Amino acid sequence: MNATRVVTAVALVFTLTGHASAAGPADAPHGALSCSGCHPADRTAQTTVPRLIGRNPADIVAAMQAFKSGQTPATVMDRIAKGFSDDEVKAIAAWYGAQKD
């Protein structure tokens, strides 16, 4: 009963604060919104930097781990990856994976 009420309350808070979509900017986990400074949101963008939107979260997590360990050579991602914990990377990957165009 209490649990149900909490769940309802959480759902209401989400609605009230505009958290209607599961993958909107309002739900972005820590750091995720910084990524789009380089990784384009726009599908038509012509850049060498890959898009993150709609990618398989497991692939993002694996890439970040490989950057962090130095297994994949990188220009900036080796340093950026070291700024995030495994849990943070997982949350960011899940959020980008859930976003649709």
Contacts with other proteins, residue ranges (CB under 8 A):
5-6, 8-9, 12-13, 15-18, 24-26, 28, 30-31, 33-42, 45-49, 75-76, 79-80, 82-84, 88
Q: How far apart are CA 90 and CA 92, in angstroms?
A: 6
Burial class (CB in 10 A: 0-12, 13-18, 19+), 36: middle
CB of 98 to other proteins, least distance (A): 16
**Closer by beta carbon to other proteins, 59 or else 82:** 82
Q: How far apart are CA 81 and CA 27, in angstroms?
A: 21
**Closer by beta carbon to other proteins, 8 or else 56:** 8
